[in-house]
Amino acid sequence: MIDPFAEVVALLQPSLPFSKATSGSGTWRIEGRGNGVPLFCVLLEGSLQMTINGQEPMTLEENDFILVPATESFTTSNTGPDAGGGFGPTRTTQLTDEFRHGDPDGPPNMRALVGHLQFGSPDAGLLLALLPSIIHVRGLKRLATMVQLIRNEAQDTRPARDMIIEHLLQVLLIEALRSASDSIASPGLLRGLVDARLATAIRLMHQAPERDWTIEQLANEAALSRSVFFDRFRREVGIAPMGYLQSWRMAMAKNLLRRREGGIKEIAQRVGYGSASAFSVAFTRLVGMNPTQYARGTGP
């Protein structure tokens, strides 16, 4: 069976350009700008308080994992009472194997692995819009283990390192989102897939994008009226059904063009267009260049 969520994660082409081990002691505080990049943190010991993109502060405990697909700003600090010692809370010291915040010599009250992800897909913005704004998974030790495996692999120079990291990151993203599915508050693909009625329609769109789907057909497959299906889909996924289908078709088309998997006519048929000309017109309108130009500019 086609898994829409796995397809989206695979198309993101995740990589790990930066990660570090960090710890805090005494009173410490970190403030930063994310510039829209994906940020992750897994807490190995202790606790911390984190505020992301101006939302309500949250407390992370041991083995908690947080992923923010688009980080604009963040603040992180200790959760206990302020401690003295004469060290400024924003002081950072590079120790042998980690960055220490606060007191460089005191016992740590937090240890974590943090890093930035990077997505190679030119459709990353579109695909990330289908994900929750914040993914927070509590107390799942295997996520901490996976992050440590990824970090170890990134520090090594063995053959096929980048391929292994990409596959491990895909597994990490899927596991994190799957584990957080019951607590997702923001609209997105995961909330749509949690809804059994909508999930049926979404899987069919991924399984047969070449079909000439209509709202009525998708609503019937979901066993809902047309109006209820439309409103429910837009509320849970954050985009109208036909808008989602068109976006997914174009993401597929871009991937096929980049990989040189077929001619324009074949790709047009595979993504649901009756002719190469109709596909070319739609592609040019949405992408800003025709399929041939896109293939020439992005191919290997």
Fold of 4-183: Jelly Rolls (2.60.120)
The model's confidence at residue 257, banded by pLDDT at 50, 70 and 90, is very high
CA dist., res. 184 & res. 246, Å (int): 25
Tens-digit pLDDT profile for residues 90-144: 888 998 888 999 999 989 999 998 988 888 887 777 677 777 788 888 888 888 8
Fold of 195-298: Arc Repressor Mutant, subunit A (1.10.10)
pLDDT of the residue at 46: 93
Classified as helix, coil or strand, 273 is: coil
Sign of CA dihedral 241, 243, 244, 246: positive
DSSP 107: P
Question: To 5 degrees, how large is the angle CA 34–CA 56–CA 23?
Answer: 55
Q: Which residues are within 8 A (CB) of 170 and not within 5 positions of it... i.e. 6 or more apart?
A: 6, 9, 10, 14
pLDDT of the residue at 300: 45
The model's confidence at residue 183, banded by pLDDT at 50, 70 and 90, is low
Q: How far is CA 4 from the centre of its chain?
A: 14
Q: Which residues are within 8 A (CB) of 7 and not within 5 positions of it... i.e. 6 or more apart?
A: 206
pLDDT of the residue at 261: 87
Neighbours of 267 (CB within 10 A): 22
Cβ atoms of residues 207 and 159 within 8 Å: no
Classified as helix, coil or strand, 285 is: helix
CA dist., res. 10 & res. 192, Å (int): 18
Domain ranges of the chain: 4-183, 195-298
Amino acid at 171: V
Cβ atoms of residues 112 and 42 within 8 Å: yes
Classified as helix, coil or strand, 29 is: strand
Residue 181 in this model has a pLDDT that exceeds 80? no
DSSP string, 33-95: EEEEEEEEEEEEEE-EEEEETT---EEE-TT-EEEEEEEEEEEEE-SS----SS--TT-EEE-
